[in-house]
Every structure is written in structure tokens, then in C-alpha cells.
Amino acid sequence: MAVRATVSRFPIDTDAREGSGLLWGVTVTPFAASDENGQSPAYGSGGDLLPRCENCWAYFNTYCELEQWSWSCSLCGNLNGLSSDAIERYSRPQSCAEMMSSFVDLELPPQEESDEAALEACPVYVAAIDLSSSEEFLELTKSALLAALEALAPGSLFGLATFSHKLGLYDVQGPIPVVKNVFIPPEAEGTLTIELEDVMPLLQFLAPVDTCKDRIASALETLRPTTSWERTTAAGQGLEGVLLGGRGFGVAMEALCGYLGSEYGNTFALARIFAFLSGPPDYGAGQLDTRRYGEQYASQRKDPDRALLPEQTPFYKDLAAVAVQAGVCVDVFAVTNEYTDLASLKFLSIESGGSLFLYTSTEDSTLPQDMYRMLSRPYAFGCVLRLRTSTEFKPGNSYGHFFPDPQYENVQHVICCDSYATYAYDFVFENNIGFSRSKSDVPTLQIAFQYSVVVPPQELSNSGGVSTSRTKHHSLQRRLRIRTVQFGVAQNIHELYDSCDPEVVLSLLVHKVILASLEEGVREGRLLLQEWLVILAAQYNDAYKLVQYSNGNSIRSQLDVAFSQCPQLQSLPRLIFALLRNPLLRFHEEGVHPDYRIYLQCLFSALEPSSLHRAVYPVLTSYATPDKQAYPRHSLSRAALLTSGSPIFFLDAFTILIVFYSSTADQTLPFPPPHDCLLRTTINKLKKERCITPKLIFIRGGQDDASIFENFLIEEQDVDGSGLTSVMGFVSFLEDITQKVLEFMK
């Protein structure tokens, strides 16, 4: 669990926070294997025995004062009694994880053993494939699923379903695959008239991957796109000559969630649906009207600022609630260049803990690699995340892809969570007192993360006394991970600025501008961001007494918007500039596709701070040869490139990696870089560590089209995309900020 704060020394009170212009909050990556400094948790058992404060329910931790019979809570100060068992345990501190580290991962006792429990522990995966599609789409989907089958843990169950104007369920457990179809009613309010359990019993549908891999593969080979004849017939002889795509996605997903959630009264603890979609749902319940895209382009009158960001129907949000209830996580893979209205669809994936992937073409799609990666890494299921703070402050807003608890504040549910998934919180003071000026108050956070992991059968064999029937199955292990973190209090504004972590500030800002653009439009999101920087710069200039008010005319020349006195703040203007240049915040008129914007919103709002930094302001390095680095860091400017004189540049923009050979590079340098060189090793390492598969591109300047690389060199580009102005990008942006700071300070 990594926890990073915008400032490691907290503001002393509300005035100090507001007076600094900085944000106050944290990012939390709960399932990260180590903390932000690379330390692993102390592992232990008996999570259910961990003492809790009777006043604030915080867990006992190393910061609590322990007496012989009692302990005082490090969050609220309450004195709590110790049970005789705990006294006995804590007399041998080396044997207890919670006495050794403020970061612990404790097993919770197993649930009752029964065949039913063992079955529930099997990971269940269902592929739902769009047949209202093309041969190319199906080819890509097949290779993605073949990759997935290789990555699935032994003992997993797999189901194959298709959708179009009908929903198809495959039974691959017999000698030849059998498909049973149910017609989806075309009406917008329709649901299936028959339970899927009656169409095919769930256990016939879910096949063990171990024994059925080949049969699943041959069933995949039989998939064909529905013919246009089939679709028009289903749509009632082509309604008024309009050819419907016949993509009954909404009903199919609703039925599958119910199917997986219904068995044994409860659910499989970990069911995951991979939905492969080749275009907008346009048939039956949950169909989306894609004409709004055309209308938007045709006339700017229709709320252009919100740029198709709001959902057009609550259908998928409601469906996400059903999925969460059933413990089903849905990953949506949209492979399309058509307008698909991800703004409406996204809820199904992000609220159920799944991912949203968008590939605009079948040709260079990294879908199979993404799928393989996603399934080969560890996952936490059925997670509950709870943040507690010491008494002087409390969480304000929370951000990220979770489902808030309907009853308890600051409790979030995450159906499925990988080691990258990151959430953010900002803080407010409990009252106008703040932290005490003497150094007695230590701001403390405690994050409790309860989750389940699937333990493969082989790991059970040495846990002792295991029955033979149990060893065949996966088992579900419930764990409680607790991290308690203490922070300092900044005694003045300089200490506050010096303790700033700009990457975490960027994370919180990105969450805020995404929310602002969803609610009030992209223009409003941009304004918010610029205003934030203006206020920060004004407060900073004020704090460092950089401006002499008596000498009115020279204020402008004295103003420092580059934060030259404070290294910790120096990267912020560039980050804000880059964010304003990012498609996330560029105007619809500049050609940012609304689905792409939604995809970026979903991606950015789950990234941990360092990855987000790369995605917003890519890392540009240069090489003298493929084996020798020249400079570790360049600003994203053409001028910087030219003056460096390096022949090879490597750009990491998180979703894309570009190797660029300058047109003046020595012709004897091998292109592309050979497989055993330093540059390749660097690339492979980056690819391996990443949650998605970045696209790798090699460009030879002067021979290949270099525009994709040049577009990343943003510092000479206009910030607002207005295009043909004589002033240059980042420099004129800073001038503009200076002007606004002046106005603000007056």
C-alpha cells in the first residue's frame, strides 16, 4: 500500500492551507505490494484479533502507546483496555506483525469449509463477444481470448457468450461445442423472457479451463459475424429502411450479471466479465442514441463545452449497481472508431472495479497483450477501503473508481483491484482550530483495506491438515491490510512549500478538473486549472515577499511565476501547461473525440502519481548510441532537441513509447535499435512495469512521418489550441499567468 501526500508537512490550519494555494490530500494505492519507499508489509495472521479503539474504531498500530493493561489510540488519544489474550501476545512483540511495523497484512480466519465454499472460490471469467461486428474484430477478440486462456490460473472456470439481436451461451464441455440462443426483445424496455439458468445450467456454461482449453479455442473458431440479413429480420424487416446494428449489449450484460450472481443464492466471490464491443449498443434495452454526436458536430449550439461528456441514460450506472451487488466486475474492451458513447457505458466498468479499454483500430491494437497482462497479475477482490484520520482533520472529497458505501462515510467498495489502482482523498479541518502550534499534534492517517485473494491449490498443501477434497480447489483468503502514517505540521508557509510533492498535487488536480469538466464543461475545467496556478503563484510571491508594492511599475518584472526560490514547486507550471495541452482538456472543436476523452478520464483517474506524471508530461531522454545515454531528461521543446545535438531520442508518454532517430543521426547507427542494447533493455523494463501495454513506435527523422513524435513537443505550441498566433507556447503561457497574477494581486 503506497500512500503519498501533496505535502508531507500538513498546513497548521485552514488559513495556512488557503494562504498557500496548495492542495491538501493523499493518493492511496491500496494493493501495491510495497509502500511508497519500497518497503513490504509485515505479514501475519489473526487480523480478527487486532485490537480496535473503542472511540474511533481505528486499529492498534505501532504508533499507539502500549501500557501493561491498556493502549492509547494514536488517532484519537482514547485509552483502551487490552484483553488478556492481547496482553499475552504483546508480551512477545517479535511474534506480532502489528508490533513490528505500521504497515501490516494480516490473514483473517477462513470461512467455513464446504464444497460450496470451495466452488465459490473458483475464479470465474466470462467472455461476452459482439457478433454484430466484423471478421477483423472477431479475429482480434479470438487472439485476445487465446492469450487470456494462457494467463488464467489453473482451476478457473470460463464461459463463452455472444450477443447481437440474440444472446448465445456456449456449452464447450461436450465433444462438440453447443450454442443455445435466446432472442433479445428489440423494445427499449424489454428484458429476456426466460432465465438463463433455464436456457443452460450455469455449471454447464462455465467450463474448467484446465480440461477444456482446446474446446474453448475451437468454439472461438466457430464465431462468425451476424449477417445483415439476420439483423434486418430481427429488427422487424428494417425499420423504415434503417439498418440496425442489432447490438443488444445492455440486455445481454444485465442477463449475464444476473446469471452469475444467482447461483447458490449468493454469488461466485470473484466473477469477471470481459465485454468485447465493436460499436454502440443499438438494440433492445440500454440502446444508445449516437445521433447526438452528429448533432453536436452539426451545430455548436448544443452545449459544446460539455462535449458529450454526460451520460444519456442511467441504464449502465444502474446496471453497475446490479453487477456490484452480484460481485461481478465488468471489463469493457471497445474496439471501434465509431462514436460509441463511452460516456454512458463507462459506469459499467469503472464502478464495478473493471477497466475501460478503447482501441480505435483492429490493426495495431494491443488488446491481446493487455488482456494477458491484466490476467497474469495479482488481484484483490471484494475489497473494502476505509480511511481514518486523527481528530483535528477529516477526509473531504474522495476520488477514484470505487463504489461508495450507501451507509458509512469514507467507506468504499472495490469489486476488483490490481496493484496499480489508485484512489485519492483531500482533507478539511474538523474545526477552525487546526493543529496545535506546539509540536504535540501529529497528524495521523490510517487506511484499512480488507480484501480477498485467490490462493492456488498448491499453496495450500503445506498449511497442514488439509482434506483431499480441498486441495483440488482454489481457496479464498480474506486479509486485512492496515497502514498507519504520520505526518509533520508545517510551522510556516516555506516549510509547507518545501514539503510539496508535485506529482501528488497533479493527481488531485486531474481528479478535480475531470469532475469540473463532467459537471460544467471542458472550458470550466481549463479555467479552474489556470486559476489554481494563478492563486498559487500569487500566494508564493506574497510569501517570499518578492514584490515591492511601493514601486508600482516594476511589479511585473519582479514577479516570479517560475517558482525559482522553491525547487519543489518548479515543475508545476509545466505540468499545468501540459495538462491544458492534453486531449483530456482540449476543446471538442480541436477534434478530440468524445470517446477518447472519456477513455483518458477513466485511465487518468486510476493512475498512481508517477505514471500520471508521464502521461501528462512525457519523459524525454536522449542517447548518443543505442547503448549509451546522453541526457536523462529534456524538456518537450524542439529547441531543446536541436541544441542537444543527440542523434537518438526516447519519449515515454505512458500509453506510447517513441524511439526517434534525428535526421542528422550517423547513418551507421543501427535502426531500429538492436535487441540487446541499453535502449531496448530500458524499453522492455518500462513495458513490463506498466499496467497497460504501451504502443512502441520507431521513427527515422527525415524518412518517416515524424508528426506523432513532434506533436509531443508541446512547449512551442499554443496552450489554447487557437492555432495561428505569433506568440510561442510555454513562454507566452507564463506571460499570460504573470498578467493574471498581477490582476489577482491588485
Q: Report the C-alpha gap between 234 and 129 in whole angstroms.
A: 18
| Cβ neighbours of 690 (radius 10 Å) | 17
**Smallest separation, CB 61 to Zn ion (Å):** 11
List, as one string, the DSSP characters of 656-715: EEEEEE-TTS-TTS-SSPPTTSHHHHHHHHHHHH-SS--EEEEEETTTS--HHHHTT-GG
Closer to Zn ion by Cβ: residue 83 or 361: 83
Closer to Zn ion by Cβ: residue 60 or 339: 60
Place of cell 496548495: 22
Q: Report the C-alpha gap between 35 and 29 in whole angstroms.
A: 9
Closer to Zn ion by Cβ: residue 104 or 275: 104
Closer to Zn ion by Cβ: residue 55 or 70: 55
Closer to Zn ion by Cβ: residue 60 or 577: 60
Closer to Zn ion by Cβ: residue 56 or 745: 56
**Smallest separation, CB 53 to Zn ion (Å):** 3
**Smallest separation, CB 11 to Zn ion (Å):** 23
Q: Report the C-alpha gap between 273 and 160 in whole angstroms.
A: 10
Closer to Zn ion by Cβ: residue 56 or 562: 56
Binding site for Zn ion (CB under 5 A): 53, 55-56, 58, 73, 75-76, 78
Closer to Zn ion by Cβ: residue 7 or 53: 53
Chain centre distance of CA 25: 18
List, as one string, the DSSP characters of 561-590: SS-TT-GGGTTHHHHHHHHHHSTTTS-GGG
Q: Report the C-alpha gap between 34 and 446 in whole angstroms.
A: 16
Can you tell me whether residue 275 is helix, strand or coil? strand
Q: Report the C-alpha gap between 474 and 479 in whole angstroms.
A: 16
Q: Report the C-alpha gap between 534 and 536 in whole angstroms.
A: 5
**Smallest separation, CB 447 to Zn ion (Å):** 15
In the beta sheet, which residues pair with residue 451?
A: 479
**Smallest separation, CB 51 to Zn ion (Å):** 11
- Report residue 554 as a C-alpha cell: 516594476
CA-based radius of gyration for the chain? 28
Closer to Zn ion by Cβ: residue 53 or 616: 53
**Smallest separation, CB 74 to Zn ion (Å):** 8
Q: Report the C-alpha gap between 161 and 569 in whole angstroms.
A: 52
**Whose CA is closest to 491, among 447, 438, 416, 432?**
438
Closer to Zn ion by Cβ: residue 51 or 246: 51
Closer to Zn ion by Cβ: residue 55 or 486: 55
Closer to Zn ion by Cβ: residue 73 or 510: 73
**Smallest separation, CB 56 to Zn ion (Å):** 3
- CA 332 → CA 127, 251, 350, 369, distances in Å? 10, 15, 9, 15
**Smallest separation, CB 121 to Zn ion (Å):** 35
**Smallest separation, CB 450 to Zn ion (Å):** 18
**Smallest separation, CB 78 to Zn ion (Å):** 5
Q: Report the C-alpha gap between 140 and 123 in whole angstroms.
A: 24
**Smallest separation, CB 55 to Zn ion (Å):** 5
Closer to Zn ion by Cβ: residue 8 or 391: 391
Per the document, the length of the chain is 746
Can you tell me whether residue 80 is helix, strand or coil? strand
- Report residue 161 as a C-alpha cell: 457468450
**Smallest separation, CB 75 to Zn ion (Å):** 5
**Smallest separation, CB 387 to Zn ion (Å):** 14
**Smallest separation, CB 65 to Zn ion (Å):** 12
Q: Report the C-alpha gap between 104 and 60 in whole angstroms.
A: 11
| Cβ neighbours of 398 (radius 10 Å) | 20
Closer to Zn ion by Cβ: residue 76 or 466: 76
Query: Side chain identity at 419, as an amino acid letter?
Result: S
**146 CB-near residues (< 8 Å, 6+ apart):** 217, 220, 368
**Smallest separation, CB 390 to Zn ion (Å):** 9
Q: Report the C-alpha gap between 395 and 424 in whole angstroms.
A: 10
Element (H, E) at 19: helix 14-20
Q: Report the C-alpha gap between 11 and 569 in whole angstroms.
A: 16
CB 612 within 8 A of CB 604: yes
Question: Running DSSP on this structure, what letter comes out for residue 500?
Answer: B
| Cβ neighbours of 132 (radius 10 Å) | 26
Closer to Zn ion by Cβ: residue 195 or 409: 409
* Ordered strands of the 2-5 beta sheet: 2-5, 25-29, 423-429, 393-399
Side-chain-side CA neighbours of 323 within 13 Å: the count stands at: 32
